[in-house]
């Protein structure tokens, strides 16, 4: 982490940006240590949050990048690789001790902001890395040269705000994990930069007013056809499982099964079972299990 850091004080560097303009503007190549620690970005005075990856790991970078794997593998161990350079396969096994099964690729793991995983506002809730690519694209178009994704902070026509937002863009880009190292902090830097450059944007900042208790609301609408929304809150990071059962107690579908950070979440059930088949009219139960919190509510599907 002493090596993989920005090696520049972000605030002092950007405040003096006119004397730092160059084709190499921005943090030193490879600021992963700063990203993991959630420090040294431009926050524009907003309170930013940080993901618990640093605190949750005993040996920081080592726990994930040297995660045990097979002896003939090209990932983990002393390779330090998270992605197999030959097959392109992600070493998702490194995530399992904390997050359980996340899928076959890092990009399968979603990150929710104020209960929403569609971070870039394109109408589709993809995994964090895909959403961060969308957000970086949005920010790049707002930076010099305007309308291009080739960000360049190298001439005196650049404003202080553009220099600050450009620094955040390059910080997250150079980190190269597309948010995985510190989802909350990486998102906060890019989202706050977009909001400052374009006050009309629909990109939202993370709501720091975190819930104080576990809760789950009545689904809405209820009765419903064909979809309904279930909203719940968790006051601390928890393994969350939200399941749908029929009135006989038979499991119909699992709509959430992953570790989630503190916050308010909304999920939609489309009236399908785990095989993607539409279920019939009737009363159904939805059950949440988050940490030690368990609750069950009823809902009615009418066709």
The pLDDT-based confidence of 210 (bands split at 50, 70, 90) is low
286 exposed, middle or buried (CB, 10 Å; 0-12, 13-18, 19+)? buried
**pTM above threshold 0.75:** no
pLDDT digits (tens, 9 = 90+) for 78-109: 899 999 999 999 999 898 888 888 889 999 99
pLDDT at 233: 86
pLDDT at 260: 87
Phi (first) and psi of residue 279, to 5 degrees = -95, 165
pLDDT(195) > 80: yes
The pLDDT-based confidence of 70 (bands split at 50, 70, 90) is low
Position of tokens 């999920």?
267
Distance CA 301, CA 116 (A): 24
Proportion of the chain above pLDDT 70, given as a percent: 98
Sequence ranges of the domains in the chain: 10-197, 215-301
Report the chain's mean pLDDT, rounded to a whole number.
92
Under 8 Å between Cβ of 252 and 284? yes
The fold for domain 215-301 equals Immunoglobulin-like (2.60.40)
pLDDT at 266: 84
């Amino acid at each position: 982490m002493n090596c993989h850091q920005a090696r520049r004080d972000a605030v002092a560097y950007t405040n003096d940006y006119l004397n730092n303009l160059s084709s190499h503007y921005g943090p030193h190549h490879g600021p992963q240590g700063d990203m993991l620690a959630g420090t040294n970005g431009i926050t524009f005075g907003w309170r930013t949050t940080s993901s618990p990856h640093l605190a949750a790991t005993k040996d920081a970078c080592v726990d994930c990048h040297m995660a045990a794997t097979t002896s003939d593998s090209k990932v983990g161990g002393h390779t330090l690789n998270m992605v197999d350079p030959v097959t392109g396969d992600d070493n998702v096994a490194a995530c399992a001790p904390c997050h359980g099964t996340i899928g076959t690729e890092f990009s399968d793991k979603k990150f929710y902001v104020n209960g929403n995983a569609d971070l870039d506002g394109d109408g589709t809730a993809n995994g964090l890395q895909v959403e961060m690519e969308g957000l970086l694209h949005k920010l790049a178009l707002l930076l010099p040269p305007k309308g291009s994704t080739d960000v360049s902070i190298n001439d005196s026509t650049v404003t202080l705000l553009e220099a600050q937002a450009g620094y955040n863009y390059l910080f997250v880009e150079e980190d190269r994990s597309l948010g995985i190292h510190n989802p909350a902090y990486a998102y906060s830097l890019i989202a706050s930069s977009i909001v400052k450059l374009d006050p009309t944007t629909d990109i939202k900042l993370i709501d720091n007013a975190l819930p104080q208790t576990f809760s789950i609301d009545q689904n809405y609408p209820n009765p419903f056809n064909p979809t309904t929304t279930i909203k719940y809150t968790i006051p601390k990071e928890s393994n969350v499982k939200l399941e749908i059962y029929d009135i006989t107690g038979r499991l119909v579908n699992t709509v959430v099964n992953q570790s989630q950070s503190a916050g308010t979440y909304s999920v939609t059930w489309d009236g399908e079972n785990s095989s993607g088949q539409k279920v019939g009219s009737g009363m159904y139960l939805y059950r949440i299990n988050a940490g030690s919190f368990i609750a069950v509510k009823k809902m009615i599907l009418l066709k």
